[in-house]
Amino acid sequence: MTEQFAPPPSRGCSGTPVLKERGQHEVFCGLTGIIWLHRKMQDAFFLVVGSRTCAHLLQSAAGVMIFAEPRFATAILEETDLAGMADAQQELDRVVSELLARRPDIKQLFLVGSCPSEVIKLDLAKAAERMSAQFAPNVRVLSYSGSGIETTFTQGEDACLSAMVPVLPQTDARELLLVGALPDVVEEQAIGLLEAMGIGPIRVLPASRVNDEYGIGANTLYALTQPFLTDTHEALQRRGANHIAAPFPFGEEGTTQWLRAIADQFGVSEAKFAEVTDAPRARARKAVAQASEAIMGKSVFFFPDSQLEIPLARFLTRECGMEAVEVGAPFIHKAVMTPDLDLLAEGPVIAEGQDVDRQLDRCRAAQPDLTVCGLGLANPLEADGLTTKWAIELVFTPVHFYEQAGDLAGLFSRPVRRRALLKVEAAE
């Protein structure tokens, strides 16, 4: 078996100075993570302690999930809660008792901090401890912050998972832990490939139910499936677990390198690795080649959103033949991101943080063929004549591993194909 992808660039982007900006950020806060986490953890409820704005945000972002009986809600702070702090803790107890009486099937409750609750220094950790004792052993209560003053979009998942790491039991077993909430179909594919190589037992964080949980210890090996899990990564290191560094499993190359890094740790032979991966690799290459025809040779500009930007830029430039102009990320954790930065050829501006008006100036000046951005910017940029791919879909759609590689390329090529198809200009 030979490497089928281009050789790594002689100098990647890990040494490139990062443009750090601050100013207006056009991003979601970490509360949005609840929308996919509550689907993944089937016995968990997420209670945001915040304002009407928080409730409105969740509802706007969750859109049509309304009435699928969501397992999240907001305890809206009122004027009286702001007056005295002891009062707020009592109120929280009342709301949680009310909630657990209504939903007796709930096994883990997350108290999620917001900007208002952080600013008034409402101690949710203490509240979680108190309630855990009160509702044990039926319900485990944990807390984390999804506030906009501390977290950006997908960092909400990181904050949630890192809150779960300290309460996992201790073990000495040599087990593989996959970290990151993935769509079920994708998770099963990943586990299937690894098991076919003889790797196991395999655990997943977050587990779909609290009863499915397992231990962590010095023999635990873990691989991140998502780039934004930096606090969770650090929390696992504190438990003595060992990180398997790898590029993230996007596209054929990313998936292969990610699998290989794990296979190496578990002593899988070259032959076995080839036997398991050759067929899906070929499928992925074929699908990407077809799906990326429309974007071959085109330029791409990333606004910061989810921290997926760098690995996605690596995929688009190396497997789809695109050229990156600027790759913006809300936050860049060097240790986690280095394998992807090493593979990303020098050239694009690597930006961390945001001053949205200045970034828009740079984007308009560069006139990229494709701009990856949030929903607040997409339509205005389209009206300006730029083609956009809205970034949130990349978090909600199955895009990891071999079988989704073609779909991933398709997500980027569809807007480009559409622009070519439409023959009527919009009226001004």
User: Would you state the structure tokens that stand for residue 403, as one six-digit string?
Assistant: 């079988």
Using CB under 8 A as the binding rule, whether residue 51 contacts another protein is answered as yes
Contacts of 359-367 with CB under 8 Å at 24 or more apart are: 359/21, 359/303, 359/326, 359/328, 362/326, 363/301, 363/303, 363/326, 366/299, 366/301, 366/325, 366/326
What are the helix (H) ranges across 266-353? 270-291, 309-319, 334-343
Cα within 13 Å of Cα(196), Cβ side = 17
Q: Which stretch in 52-60, 295-303, 315-323, 343-351 sits in contact with another protein by CB under 8 A?
A: 52-60
Query: Could you say which of 24, 134, 269, 367 contacts another protein (CB under 8 A)?
Result: 24
Q: How far is the CB of 329 from another protein (least distance, A)?
A: 14
Q: Are 190 and 118 in contact (CB under 8 A)?
A: no
Residue type for position 384: D
Q: Which stretch in 37-45, 87-95, 130-138, 416-424 sits in contact with another protein by CB under 8 A?
A: 87-95
Q: Are 35 and 97 in contact (CB under 8 A)?
A: no
Using DSSP's 3-state secondary structure scheme, residue 78 falls into coil
Q: Which stretch in 5-13, 145-153, 225-233, 309-317 sits in contact with another protein by CB under 8 A?
A: 145-153
Among residues 95, 48, 53, which one has the least CA distance to residue 73? 48
CB count in 10 Å sphere of residue 200: 12
Using CB under 8 A as the binding rule, whether residue 150 contacts another protein is answered as yes
Using CB under 8 A as the binding rule, whether residue 157 contacts another protein is answered as no
Using CB under 8 A as the binding rule, whether residue 231 contacts another protein is answered as no
Q: E strands along 157-209, which residues?
A: 176-179, 202-205
**Residue 63 CA to its chain's centroid (Å):** 19
What residues contact 377, with CB distance under 8 A and at least 6 apart?
A: 26, 303, 356, 360, 388
Query: Could you say which of 31, 160, 324, 351 contacts another protein (CB under 8 A)?
Result: 31
Is the CB of 118 or the CB of 158 nearer to another protein? 118
Using CB under 8 A as the binding rule, whether residue 158 contacts another protein is answered as no
Does 363 count as an annotated binding residue?
A: no
For residues 337-366, which are near another protein according to CB under 8 A? 357
Cα within 13 Å of Cα(134), Cβ side = 14
Does 160 count as an annotated binding residue?
A: no
Q: How far is the CB of 379 from another protein (least distance, A)?
A: 4
Is the CB of 119 or the CB of 218 nearer to another protein? 119
CB count in 10 Å sphere of residue 167: 13
Q: How far is the CB of 56 from another protein (least distance, A)?
A: 4
Using CB under 8 A as the binding rule, whether residue 232 contacts another protein is answered as no
Using CB under 8 A as the binding rule, whether residue 135 contacts another protein is answered as no
- Residue 162 and residue 145: Cα distance in Å, rounded? 11
Q: Which stretch in 22-30, 191-199, 250-258, 309-317 sits in contact with another protein by CB under 8 A?
A: 22-30
For residues 361-390, which are near another protein according to CB under 8 A? 374-380, 382-383
Using CB under 8 A as the binding rule, whether residue 85 contacts another protein is answered as no
Query: Could you say which of 17, 64, 271, 421 contacts another protein (CB under 8 A)?
Result: 64
Is the CB of 23 or the CB of 198 nearer to another protein? 23
**Known binding-site positions for [4Fe-4S] cluster:** 29, 54, 115
**Known binding-site positions:** 29, 54, 115
- Judged by the rule CB under 8 A, the positions of this chain that interact with another protein are 22-32, 49, 51-53, 55-57, 59-61, 63-64, 66-67, 70, 72-79, 81-82, 88, 91-92, 94-95, 98-99, 115-116, 118-120, 147-150, 152, 357, 374-380, 382-383, 426
